[in-house]
Amino acid sequence: MHDERRRIEERAERLHNQRIKPALYAATVPLDIAAWQAPGEPVPFAEAAAAPYEPFATGTPWGPPWGTTWFRMHGRVPDDWAGRRVEAVIDLGFVGDWPGNQAEALVHLPDGTPLKAVNPLNQYVPIAHPASGGERVDYLVEAASNPDILANDFAGPTPLGDVLTAGDAPLYTFRRADLAVLDEDVFHLDLDLQVLRELMAELGEHEPRRHEIMHALDHALDQLDLDDIAGSAPAVRAALAPVLARPAHASAHIISGVGHAHIDSAWLWPIRETKRKTSRTFSNVTALADEYEEFVFACSQAQQYEWVRDSYPKVWARIQEAVERGQWAPVGGMWVEADGNLPGGEALARQLVHGKRFFIEHFGIETKGVWLPDSFGYTAAYPQLAKLAGNEWFLTQKISWNQTNTFPHHTFWWEGIDGTRIFTHFPPVDTYNAALTGEEMARAVHNYREKGGATRSLAPFGWGDGGGGPTRELMERARRLRDLEGSPKVEVEHPDAFFAKARAEYEDAPVWVGELYLELHRATYTSQARTKQGNRRSEHLLREAELWATTAALHAPGYAYPHERLDRLWKTVLLHQFHDILPGSSIAWVHREAEAEYARVAQELEALTTEAVAALGDGAARVFNTSPFDRAEVVRTADGTPVYVRVPAQGSAELTGADAPARPVEVAQRVLDNGLVRVEVAADGTLTSVRDLRADREVLAGRGNLLRLHTDLPNYWDAWDIDKHYRNRYTDLLERDSVTVVEQDPLIGAIRVERSFGKGSRITQTITVRAGSPRIDFETEIDWHEAEKILKAGFPVDIRAPHSSAEIQFGHIQRPTHTNTSWEAARFEVSGHRWVHIAEPGYGVAVINDSTYGHDVTRTVREDGGTTTTVRLSLVRAPRVPDPGADQGRHRFTYSLLPGASIEDAVAEGYALNLPLRSARSAGAPAPVVSTEGDGVTVEAVKLADDGSGDVIVRIYESRGGRADGLLRTGFPLAGAQLTDLLERPLGPANTHGNTVPVTLRPFEIQTLRLTTT
């Protein structure tokens, strides 16, 4: 047979695109349009309905950036359209190939009922099959003119990312608003051709099935009458029916397709726009569910459900109905799809608690899995937290973006730092916005790494971020791909059903131990430093408020625990942990609002803590310690006088001073010495020596606290990425304006270093040593005006450390300091929480921080044979996309060097730096709510039970990485204790002896105890 592939394929392409697709609508009539531009922010429907409208014509520019234009549309169905499928077709002037992040609209009926959204790939609004002609159509359409922030493909910054700088020039030109008759034969022919042509293109040229499809297309298109596309479409479909009916091979890969619409809770749009995006997409989804009974839609993020419930009650009611029918699947069980690395341990626990409770309360459904396709790597604490919240599975996708190494599994058991394992899937289709194309189906099969052991994978399909979710075209694709030779089988089903089947066939799946590190987007540990600082401070203020509110509830008659206020504040913090807010990868508007929100949260939490402490009575000045460790520290009185105090863990002490350390702080020129450490500051402001006087050894192997300014222009994702070549070009900041002794007291010694550099930037650092503590603090103020730079602070330490240890949620993770393999080399920038620790047998050093997450650890061998291990904190960046002003302006934070530190010391000082001792007046000294005995037994949270019972909830964990046996002692009469899951549901009784509870913890184990008072 002659080779006619080119002729046939080109013929099919032209006829499909130029003749069949344009014939989808058999007839059209224009709608009459009037418009009203809403001033400022979006307005409610009632206000828009009462507004004055002016005539509007297609072809007219509309929509300033971030504006809202309401269109009133009306028309009448022609009499001769009776019984046919009539739709309104609205094109707002859609641009580009991204269906999200541009113009979109919600269509309302005259009574305010949301009907359906209009999106670039979903432009129709159904009017069903009118029984007779003449039906009147009236709509009020709320159209958002959101700008396409990334339209220039990262070529440079744009002012469009904030309403304050975006201007008011119209962004779009309105194209059409018509009533139209959908020709259903042509519609289905279009889908037949799409599926077959795409399948054909993916099959090998040697495969008979490819040639069978090709010749079937050729013969079928012979039936197409170019003068009567609609009339001949049934004949073409009939000719294609046999080739579409050929069943898939028995060994065909099985894809569980689930409708999805990944909607970032904020990113290239502000939170207020996400609220509207959810209403639009959810309107589309519920409308599609009415049309396709097999449709299943998986939707995460309880926060988005709450927005719709509160602002769009009619859409909410439709969601509830779809859930009852089994067509809508709440998944994920988290308040938002949070960043996978940066939230603190208790915050991740609360993400799961608040999310799962919402779905239980409103739908009677307990979600079974964690749904996090788009976060930028995943902490090794997740398996345990997920299981403790009652989850059975975990789903991710983003690891497919790895820059260097290909992840070796798609279905596997993920083992966390404590040994907990959770069944995990990573869809080989490599997207969470699948369109069920032939290319995607082939990719899923080609990528799938479990061949021979398992047979199925999952594919979330639908347009996200305002694209409107799944469409009827995607559902039609799924129907055709259900059992089609040459393709994997597509089954539309609930994710729980997929995971149950996948686990049943692959119980012995391989195991991945430790973090799921994303070899990309490493700059998200640093970008938008003020947002990250707001999160860190909020997490610790919430801990303080809950502890002291619990103390007051137990000891202060008449004090009412502020359940509702704390719940609201937690949800605000959890929202801002979304994986494009906390990582610093959103537009300026988002981060401007986040910083303001964190300030409001801090103010309210400070007030809550003050109220709780005041409820204990107004008396002597006392110092309150929220940390889970006893502390002996220098604090200042109201007039600034330093005082040395000893305060028990989670307790208080009078601010009258304790026995001061035997050795005061001595300050001589540029030397600080407290008998534990001696710090020498060079004339250039760096540290020339840090001598650990207890161990009689020099800590540094080079300039300490060396500030290095690197050029930082990644290959593509500016705010997200830091690429390895940043290390090749830098300037060490050795010029200084001044080095001055600013405090010389027996309890405190401090030297201030001031530097100016770059484009008007300025750094002021106060190096402080306090009596009785080996910790050296670097209180830092930066006025930052650089562009495309990153600033790091380095500590070269004379230690041969085979690995570094970095704190993560409820424990720590070890990472090699060598680069033997590409996996280690790819971890050139990593994340940690309050501390990083390096050690050799017998000696260690920790670097501690109060708001920094990104860091790197490297080692070199010196000419003298010794090894230098260098820890460098990433302090601040200056990306220009998507926020041209990212990180510009003032920053204030503290980091510390802790010589001679064990892991236990790092844990304790990490808490101490992040939970400063609090001074207040209190009449009494109530016993701490709980205290612990036993190394490694660490209290993470103390609160009252969420059910209002008055029970005390205590969350503890093992913090060293070893087994722990100890006691939990209560400061109140104890009637009983239970072990619970994260949702405070009983798992079993805990033994008690008087007011103590014996505890046994495996390495990094988390336990939640419910304690009942008498």
Question: Active-site positions?
Answer: 374
**What is the token pair recorded at 441?**
């189906």
Q: Residue 307 and residue 364: Cα distance in Å, rounded?
A: 19
CA distances from 219 to 222, 224, 573, 779, 946 (A): 5, 10, 62, 78, 68
Contact 525, 854 (CB under 8 A): yes
What SS3 class is residue 603? helix
Q: Are strands 843-849 and 854-861 parallel, antiparallel or unpaired?
A: unpaired
> Helices 529-555 & 345-363, crossing angle to 10 degrees?
70
Residues in the chain: 1014
- Residue 322: closest CA among 367, 291, 277: 291
Contact 901, 677 (CB under 8 A): no
**What is the token pair recorded at 141?**
């359409």
CA 871 to chain centre: 26
Q: Residue 499 and residue 504: Cα distance in Å, rounded?
A: 8
CA distances from 29 to 25, 61, 78 (A): 11, 21, 8
With the C-alpha atoms ordered 473, 476, 482, 484, is the resulting torsion angle positive or negative?
negative
Please spell the DSSP secondary structure of 317-385, one letter per residue.
HHHHHHHHHT-EEE-S-SSS-B-SSSS-HHHHHHHHHHHHHHHHHHHS----EEEESSSS-B-TTHHHH
- Residue 665: closest CA among 754, 781, 775, 795: 775
CA 868 to chain centre: 35
**What is the token pair recorded at 434?**
């699948």
Q: What angle do CA 296, 278, 90 make, to 5 degrees?
A: 90
Let me know if 465 is exposed, middle or buried by CB neighbors in 10 A (0-12, 13-18, 19+): buried
User: What element of type H or E holds 970?
Assistant: strand 964-970
Q: Residue 226 and residue 230: Cα distance in Å, rounded?
A: 9
User: What element of type H or E holds 447?
Assistant: helix 438-447
Contact 859, 774 (CB under 8 A): no
Q: Residue 667 and residue 429: Cα distance in Å, rounded?
A: 63
Q: Are strands 67-76 and 114-118 parallel, antiparallel or unpaired?
A: unpaired
Residue 967: how many CA atoms within 13 Å on its side-chain side?
9
Q: Residue 874 and residue 861: Cα distance in Å, rounded?
A: 23
Q: Residue 111 and residue 710: Cα distance in Å, rounded?
A: 59
Residue 351: count other Cβ atoms within 10 Å of its Cβ.
28
CA distances from 916 to 25, 400, 537 (A): 68, 41, 11
CA 366 to chain centre: 22
- Residue 539: closest CA among 856, 886, 910, 269: 910
Q: Residue 395 and residue 329: Cα distance in Å, rounded?
A: 15
Q: What are the beta bridge partners of residue 894?
A: 779
Q: Residue 65 and residue 355: Cα distance in Å, rounded?
A: 33
Q: What are the beta bridge partners of residue 957?
A: 938, 1006
Q: Residue 377 and residue 338: Cα distance in Å, rounded?
A: 11
CB within 8 Å of 305: residues ≥ 6 apart: 299, 316, 319, 330, 358, 362
